């Protein structure tokens, strides 16, 4: 067996067709498969996920077009305090990493007008997106992708809830004004002389609940397999998304679900593109392990508001936010 097929045997492929079709048995089965994946490796692929290929193709094309602009042009939509916009090479350093990630990325979130009550109240990370006037095609392409992946995330969480033994609607009421963040990522080919401390993305866990990743055909994503203490490839599989548990869902499940280290090394000599979607709850949603069936005596974590947790994690990994916070004279990071 090749290394790749061995790896994919350990990262299961879960079919969402029946879940989307409202089939009770399929929902129960997918729930069990997801629970098994999340309590072991923390990663799985989904297929028949319902996101139209045309929406993916359009978003991919937009990503290629956007990152091809000169960096001075892209900086016209430099990331703002709401974490919307463009980050250049060197802007993100993962916890304990020696060097910044070798990637550029562009982030969007739920489009909210300036007069939205939460925006007016100053809720962190909320507000309008930071769309480029130099590329008007980006907004319709990326925002329709955002909506399609959001719908897929909702289906996925019905199966997750079922696997956790709670009502399939458990997450829906906690996602009414979701903190979904979608990032297009561009990995330039890593210079051949780069040392072993240089990563496209250094080893990290994701902060939020669940991540849905589209990756192009280049490959380079690797997942830490705790059982064998080794890195395994999560190779591109046509028509799939890679899904993984983030730290907030691990916390919500009192660590029954595992938030697994992963990294990207783009040693292909080619450009690599991916689109990561962090599908997270409403800012004020309490994340309390009791709500997912943890008994009082076993509970390891205090309840936390989903948004406060995510904000804290973004503040500590993003260099630009530390600089802004220092300028504002606060050690808490900016909101
Ligand atoms: C991330 C991530 C992987 C990739 O953005 O958190 O792990 O393939 N991305 O881009
Ligand atoms: Ni990640």
Residue-wise pLDDT for 289-313, tens only, equals 999 999 999 999 999 999 999 999 9
User: What CATH number is associated with residue 245?
Assistant: 2.60.120.330
Smallest Cα–Cα separation from 275: which of 95, 112, 62?
A: 62
pLDDT tens-place string over residues 195-253: 778 899 999 999 999 999 999 999 999 999 988 889 999 999 999 999 999 999 999 99
Mean pLDDT, residues 265-275 taken together: 95
DSSP designation for 138: H
Average pLDDT taken over every residue of the chain: 92
Minimal-distance CA residue to ligand 1 atom 9: 276
Task: Please report whether residue 155 resides in a domain.
Answer: yes
Task: Please report whether residue 335 resides in a domain.
Answer: no
Structure tokens at 225: 């397999």
Kind of pairing between the strands at 43-47 and 13-15: parallel
Classified as helix, coil or strand, 306 is helix
Minimal-distance CA residue to ligand 1 atom 8: 221
State the closest ligand 1 atom to the C-alpha of 262, by its place in the atom list counted from 1.
Answer: 7
Residues 6+ apart with CB under 8 A from 67: 74, 104, 106, 184, 186, 273
Place of tokens 């906690």: 174
Range of the domain at 165: 3-328
The distance between the two most distant Cα atoms of the chain, rounded to a whole number of Å, is 57
DSSP designation for 188: P
pLDDT tens-place string over residues 61-85: 999 999 999 999 999 999 999 999 9
Task: Please report whether residue 324 resides in a domain.
Answer: yes
Minimal-distance CA residue to ligand 1 atom 10: 274
pLDDT band, very low/low/confident/very high, at 334 (cuts 50, 70, 90) = low
Q: How many domains does the chain have?
A: 1
Task: Please report whether residue 66 resides in a domain.
Answer: yes
Q: What is the rounded CA–CA span in Å between residue 273 and residue 62?
A: 11
User: How many Å lie between the centroid of ligand 1 and the Cα of residue 201?
Assistant: 7
Ligand lying closest to the C-alpha of residue 187: 1
State the closest ligand 1 atom to the C-alpha of 187, by its place in the atom list counted from 1.
Answer: 10
Task: Please report whether residue 334 resides in a domain.
Answer: no
């Amino acid at each position: 067996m090749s290394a790749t097929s061995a790896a994919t045997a350990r990262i299961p492929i879960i079919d969402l067709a029946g879940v989307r079709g409202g089939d009770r048995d399929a929902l129960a089965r997918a729930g069990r498969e997801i629970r098994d994946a999340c309590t072991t490796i923390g990663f799985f692929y989904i297929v028949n996920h319902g996101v139209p290929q045309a929406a993916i193709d359009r978003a991919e094309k937009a990503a290629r077009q956007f990152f091809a602009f000169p960096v001075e042009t892209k900086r016209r939509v430099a990331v703002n305090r709401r974490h919307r916009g463009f980050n250049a090479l060197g802007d993100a350093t993962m916890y304990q990493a020696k060097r910044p990630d070798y990637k550029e990325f562009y982030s969007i979130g739920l489009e909210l007008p300036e007069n939205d009550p939460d925006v007016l109240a100053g809720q962190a990370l909320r507000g309008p997106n930071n769309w480029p006037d130099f590329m008007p095609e980006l907004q319709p392409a990326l925002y329709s992708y955002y909506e399609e992946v959001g719908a897929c995330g909702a289906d996925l969480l019905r199966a997750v809830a079922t696997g956790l033994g709670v009502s399939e609607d458990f997450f829906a009421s906690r996602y009414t004004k979701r903190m979904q963040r979608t990032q297009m990522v561009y990995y330039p080919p890593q210079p051949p002389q780069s040392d072993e401390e240089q990563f496209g993305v250094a080893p990290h866990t994701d902060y939020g609940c669940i991540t849905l990743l589209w990756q192009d055909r280049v490959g380079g994503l690797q997942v830490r397999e705790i059982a064998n203490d080794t890195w395994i490839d999560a190779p591109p599989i046509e028509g799939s998304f890679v899904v993984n548990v983030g730290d907030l869902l691990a916390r919500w499940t009192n660590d029954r679900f595992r938030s697994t280290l992963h990294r990207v090394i783009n040693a292909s000599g080619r450009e690599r593109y991916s689109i990561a979607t962090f599908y997270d709850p409403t800012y004020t949603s309490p994340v309390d392990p009791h709500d997912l069936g943890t008994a009082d005596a076993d509970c390891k974590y205090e309840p936390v508001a989903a948004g406060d947790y995510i904000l804290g994690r973004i503040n500590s990994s993003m260099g630009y936010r530390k600089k802004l916070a220092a300028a504002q004279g606060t050690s808490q990071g900016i909101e």
